[in-house]
Amino acid sequence: MDARSSSWGNNTGFGSPPANEIICGSAAVFKILLMNDGGLDLIRSDNKCSILPTDKEHVLLAAGGQNALTASLGTLLERGDKLGTDPLTYPGVKTAAKLLGIHLIPIQHNDYEMTEEGIRYAIQNEKIKGIYVIQDYHNPTSHIMSLETRKMIAGLAREKNILVIEDGINNLLAENPLPPIAFFAPEQVIYLSSLSKTIAAGLRTAFVYVPDQYHRSLATTLYTMNISISPLLAAVSAGLIADGMADEIVCGRK
């Protein structure tokens, strides 16, 4: 399913989602975990609107967000490549980049968000291959990226054919979530989602939306790193989701 064919709330100009598209976020995760049901959404929030409509062909499982991030960097960038980040960013991307010999380039900011000029400058002068962003409840600033900046980054990613690694680890905690960058440029974006911040860090379970062009290589990397995620932890995650406990935990954390 084309991500852009689904619906959004009126604030984004995409209309309201039809009733049969509404499932709660954890139910969607549960389907991915246990049923591998096609045509579902990767993550939904509050039963209100979808975050990123996708299908099982575009979702890979990883052993937590850090595992997914390291696998993505290792798959899509080569030693010596440059990746744009916020000037202040999640320490885990720094350690992963160091391990893999990837150089992180701080992008010019205004009001806690990357500027278009800053990204264009880094593409032209630093030859960055992509950017890493945390769109909701940024670590460490806790900033939520504006809709305009999400659209700007998606547009630039398309125009310049750069990769976006979008870390949506906190997205289920947003009361009225904005669409992720992946929604506007699904073919350019790897979208990471983990249960760590929303349900429990010990579950070590993450979901990765991956576009066709990167699917085979990222699946191979995740197999190389993990063989598979732990079926035991997946069963625990699914159990929490199925009996409604996960929703209670997420609500309690908001």
Ligand X SMILES: Cc1ncc(COP(=O)(O)O)c(C=O)c1O
Which positions touch ligand X (CB under 6 A)? Answer: 64-66, 69, 90, 92, 134, 139, 167, 169, 194, 196, 201, 206
Alpha helices by DSSP H, 6-144: 25-30, 65-76, 91-100, 116-121
Q: How far is the CB of 100 from ligand X (least distance, A)?
A: 16
CB of 99 to ligand X, least distance (A): 15
Q: How far is the CB of 21 from ligand X (least distance, A)?
A: 27
Please identify, using beta-carbon distances, which residue of 9 and 92 lies nearer to ligand X.
Answer: 92
Give the residue with the Cβ less far from ligand X, 65 or 186.
65
Cβ atoms < 10 Å from Cβ of 81: 17
Whichever of 22 and 174 has its CB closer to ligand X, that residue is 174
Please give the structure tokens belonging to residue 212.
């066709």
Two tokens, residue 16? 């309201």
- SS3 assignment, position 49: strand
In the complex with ligand X, the residue whose CB is nearer, 92 or 155, is 92
Coil/strand/helix, residue 105: strand
First to last CA, the chain: 30
Write down the least CB distance from residue 200 to ligand X, Å. Answer: 10
Residue type, 34: L
Instruction: Kindly state the smallest distance separating residue 60's Cβ from ligand X, in Å.
Output: 14
Q: What angle do CA 72, 84, 159 make, to 5 degrees?
A: 90
- Output 64 or 179, the one with its CB closest to ligand X: 64
